[in-house]
Structure 1
Amino acid sequence: MPSITAVPGKANLLIGAYDLATLGYGAEEFFVSGTAGSFSDVVASEADYTTRIVVISPNDPTKSNGTVIIEWLNVSGGIDAPAVWLMAHREIAREGYAYVAVSAQRVGVEGGDSLVGANMSLKAQDPERYSALHHPGDAFAYDIFTQVGRLVRDGAIDGLGPETILAVGESQSAMFLTTYVNDVDPDAAVFDGFLVHSRFGTAASPDGTSALNASRPVPFRDDLRVPVLTVLTETDVVDGHLPGYHRARRPDSAMFRAWEIAGTSHADNYTIRVGFIDTGSAPLPDIVAAYAPTDRLMGVELSYFINFAPQHHYVLQAAIASLTRWIREGKAPVSVPPLELTDDEPVRFALDANGIAAGGVRTPWVDVPIARTSGLAPDESPMSFLFGSGELFDVGRLRELYPGGGAEYLHRFTAALDRAVEAGVIVRADRAEILNLAATMFPGVRC
């Protein structure tokens, strides 16, 4: 077993522009040191490492629900990013999960290749605090992640005595988790389930080479050991900078579900604006303003709005709830038809009458829309292709769709929302909040 050492002071982790105490949570950072094995034939079989983890848990232990979420931090932007926490922290905190962020990859610790070329690694940002860290390379990342999972499982971290542990990761991290599920988990057998979020069609290589250059589609294995729920946006499904998930689709089974969400993009307004202020008690006008369409992305002015639809956030929260129930109660999540594709090359989405992708996980934002949102977008900045696009309907189109105005819209929206809640793709606890947003966001309504 590796050693684990508490590190006093504030951890360097971008979790939001709010005090964790407003969620009833606190954070502790630990350094983990050990010897990891590689899963490659072209690098050394073992290497020493020291990485860090951040444990975010309820301040009141009686609020814990007994499940720990362990996230493989995402390094595509050159920084350790807790992508699943940022998108779904409301559900995590509301239900009393503990959360462990793992600096699993070398880029997050030492620096290296990223989509934006920036070195925002731990050592670059705070060389004094993180000088003791050492990461031997991504061929060893799989075993490092396994060892952290075992530490959590075995109660090595005070205050965490989990009944269940979930492994989660988004984007590049999801590509590594795909390889983990296929090649590592059958023998490691540490985690009780996996939430693989926005993985594209490819997977990371066991030898640690950059997942950003992967080209071979990799389905999940047929004989899964534990439940796997993969959640995908439109951006992830069709071909783009990487082969799309449609090339790696496989049928749902007793241990597998895939949710492809209509009208969504890999990242969106929630990723960069709403999630940073969303504590559950933020004023409604502030949340509505953060969701408002914007053509600004990381300092670049685009020729279009990025995706501003809320469903990605809410469906991911439901995915966490559904995976937990699947593991604990044996009740599998709903099986959802995939997004519908054309027969053309390159493959594109079949569209409904409103120009929105047909099929997939249906939510009120696509079945009762006030805008056309998509996972597709032009390349106008280094990361704009990940943020999709959105276009509000004009007044004429809204009158055609909802001749009864806002009252008709809200009535139909409520019915669509209740169908989504009943299907389990929206958490019932989010219903009232979603209706408040819908009532306020219909054009012409002011907070």
Structure 2
Amino acid sequence: MGHFCVCSRGTARSYSETVASEADYTARIVVISPKDAAKSNGTVIVEWLNVSGGIDAPAVWFMAHREIARAGFTYVAVSVQQVGVEGGTSLVGAEMSLKAQDPQRYRELHHPGDPFAYDIFTQIGRLIREGAVDGLRPDTVLAVGESQSAAFLTTYVNAVDSSAATYDGFLVHSRFGNAAPLDDTNVLGDAGAIAAVPFRADLRVPVLTVLTETDVVGGFRVGYHAARQEDNEFLRAWEVPGTAHADNYTVRVGFIDDGSTPLDDIVAAYAPTDERMGTRLSYYLNFAPQHHYVLQAAITALNAWVRAGTPAPSAPPIALTGGNPPGIALDANGIAEGGVRTPWVDVPIARTSGLAKDESPMSFLFGSGELFDAARLCELYPEGIEAYLDQFTDALDQTIEAGFLLPADRPEILNLAAAMFPAVRC
């Protein structure tokens, strides 16, 4: 795939009653597209870059880039928030804005503040539609965003989309229950942690939201459980058991996973680790593979929903217990019940969870995991790896048939399952 970076200049309006109505901006756009135009599938994915770590982070691209490239999508990353361009508050206190990293290169960029971000995102979507960005004239334009960006997209869907009518569908990845403000209130502040905000009932276009256990339960923010609503004509919510807001794919696997990396290297990167940002934790981070693979399926499902009118599949929510925040109802293996069922939770070799202690910066977002001991593995699979793979394959095929994993990922998933099964003798 080829890529390039351009600037977009304009005047954006604010949706806030407490901020000036208009302001000039100069935003950065990064475009990644198939080198062979004939391999393009006609859809552009526009990501609202995530700035929670103080840096423009392409979170959806990072976790789903294999499918984005494989299926012929064009991908556009937009520096749409002030922190990513000018600097400001982040969860880790790092100053990694574009201007901090390279003042000379990014000197022309200017962001007037997040109340203008919504209109900036609209204007860039329209430029893409009109062919003003590298001559792109897509059939379909999808908006995507993860975590903090998902909170902003939730507000965009609820307050902006009905009049802007720019994007054909939205993938809202790993949102909590809250939404971003329209004014200049800091989304990371306490005010944004309180209120749960469902999606509006009268959605204009399809919205698919993919949620991990961390997102559903919350704690750092009010959990998505408080904003739950029934699936409808234009809404699907996929709550995925055994997953965390971030995991080993985020910190290790994604950096090497280009489709040609040897299997042994991928397996080694998925291996349980108790290290996070230089701190040794008292537990392993979540190391389950399903988050990455389900998100790839979600992108394809949303595209098919928009282009062919085939609704994305529905799934039940993750089962919860009482409490505030609530707990997660667990099966005999300590794995969440309900939700999008995958072979990693129905034919497990480990207990993985979206919940964890907060022992280093943002470590609670990375969940936890624990491999089963030999006794439990032998109890579950007394005939060893052969029995395990038979059951795993059946569960995998059921999940693919249900639409929550992609057929194209089946061989890789099976190879990964075989390679990750612990060496035990029963």
TM band (smaller chain) = over 0.9
Structure 1 residue 94 displacement after superposition: 0.3
Out of 92, 102, 105, which is 1:126 matched to? 102
Structure 1 residue 209 displacement after superposition: 1.8
Out of 224, 227, 244, which is 1:245 matched to? 224
Look up the match of 1:56.
Answer: 32
Structure 1 residue 159 displacement after superposition: 4.2
CA distance in 1, matches of 2:142, 2:161: 12
Structure 1 residue 208 displacement after superposition: 3.0
| Change beyond 3 A, Cα 1:285–1:395 | same
Whether the aligned pair in 1 keeps the contact of 2:47 and 2:58 (CA below 8 Å) is: yes
1:307 to 2:301 alignment:
no
Look up the match of 2:276.
Answer: 297
Whether the aligned pair in 2 keeps the contact of 1:336 and 1:360 (CA below 8 Å) is: yes
Aligned residue type for 2:197: V
Out of 30, 35, 43, which is 2:6 matched to? 30
CA distance in 2, matches of 1:419, 1:73: 34
1:146-225 paired onto structure 2 within 5 Å: 146-213=122-189, 214=192, 215-225=194-204
Structure 1 residue 239 displacement after superposition: 2.8
Aligned residue type for 1:290: A
Look up the match of 2:245.
Answer: 266
CA distance in 1, matches of 2:339, 2:181: 29
CA distance in 2, matches of 1:402, 1:143: 55
Gaps of 5+ in 1: 1-24
Look up the match of 2:389.
Answer: 410
Look up the match of 1:14.
Answer: none
Task: State the TM-score, normalized to the length of structure 1.
Answer: 0.93
Structure 1 residue matching 2:269: 3-state secondary structure: helix
Structure 2 residue matching 1:211: 3-state secondary structure: coil
Look up the match of 1:435.
Answer: 414
Look up the match of 1:371.
Answer: 350
Structure 1 residue 158 displacement after superposition: 2.2
CA distance in 2, matches of 1:338, 1:375: 15
Aligned residue type for 2:77: A
| Change beyond 3 A, Cα 1:44–1:293 | same
Whether the aligned pair in 2 keeps the contact of 1:273 and 1:291 (CA below 8 Å) is: yes
Look up the match of 1:145.
Answer: 121
CA distance in 2, matches of 1:159, 1:275: 30
Out of 209, 226, 235, which is 1:256 matched to? 235
CA distance in 2, matches of 1:205, 1:346: 23
| Runs (4+) off by over 4 Å | none
Structure 2 residue matching 1:275: 3-state secondary structure: helix
Structure 1 residue 368 displacement after superposition: 0.3
Look up the match of 2:302.
Answer: 323
Look up the match of 1:395.
Answer: 374
CA distance in 2, matches of 1:212, 1:261: 25
Whether the aligned pair in 1 keeps the contact of 2:277 and 2:361 (CA below 8 Å) is: no
1:102 to 2:81 alignment:
no
Task: Please list the CA deviations of residues 175-201 of structure 1 after superposition, one character each: whole Å capped at 9, or x if unmatched.
Answer: 000000000000000000000000100
Whether the aligned pair in 1 keeps the contact of 2:290 and 2:342 (CA below 8 Å) is: yes
CA distance in 1, matches of 2:66, 2:362: 26
Whether the aligned pair in 2 keeps the contact of 1:235 and 1:266 (CA below 8 Å) is: yes
CA distance in 2, matches of 1:148, 1:74: 17
Aligned residue type for 2:12: A
Task: State the TM-score, normalized to the length of structure 2.
Answer: 0.98
Task: Please list the CA deviations of residues 49-93 of structure 1 after superposition, one character each: whole Å capped at 9, or x if unmatched.
Answer: 111010001111111000000000000000000000000000000
Look up the match of 1:359.
Answer: 338
Structure 1 residue matching 2:298: 3-state secondary structure: helix
Aligned residue type for 1:251: E
Whether the aligned pair in 2 keeps the contact of 1:61 and 1:159 (CA below 8 Å) is: no
Structure 1 residue matching 2:124: 3-state secondary structure: helix
Structure 1 residue 346 displacement after superposition: 3.5
Q: CA RMSD in A?
A: 0.8
Whether the aligned pair in 2 keeps the contact of 1:377 and 1:384 (CA below 8 Å) is: yes
CA distance in 2, matches of 1:344, 1:135: 42
CA distance in 2, matches of 1:64, 1:335: 28
CA distance in 2, matches of 1:246, 1:432: 34
CA distance in 1, matches of 2:32, 2:219: 35
Bigger mean CA deviation after superposition, 193-202 or 295-304: 295-304
Task: Please list the CA deviations of residues 346-379 of structure 1 after superposition, one character each: whole Å capped at 9, or x if unmatched.
Answer: 3100001100010000100000000000000000
CA distance in 2, matches of 1:73, 1:37: 20
Structure 1 residue 306 displacement after superposition: 0.2
Task: Please list the CA deviations of residues 228-274 of structure 1 after superposition, one character each: whole Å capped at 9, or x if unmatched.
Answer: 00000000001311000000001000100000000000000001111
CA distance in 2, matches of 1:159, 1:33: 17
Structure 1 residue 299 displacement after superposition: 1.5
Structure 1 residue 212 displacement after superposition: 1.7
1:339 to 2:318 alignment:
yes
Look up the match of 2:16.
Answer: 40
CA distance in 1, matches of 2:417, 2:332: 21
Task: Please list the CA deviations of residues 304-346 of structure 1 after superposition, one character each: whole Å capped at 9, or x if unmatched.
Answer: 1000000000000000000000011111111100000013343
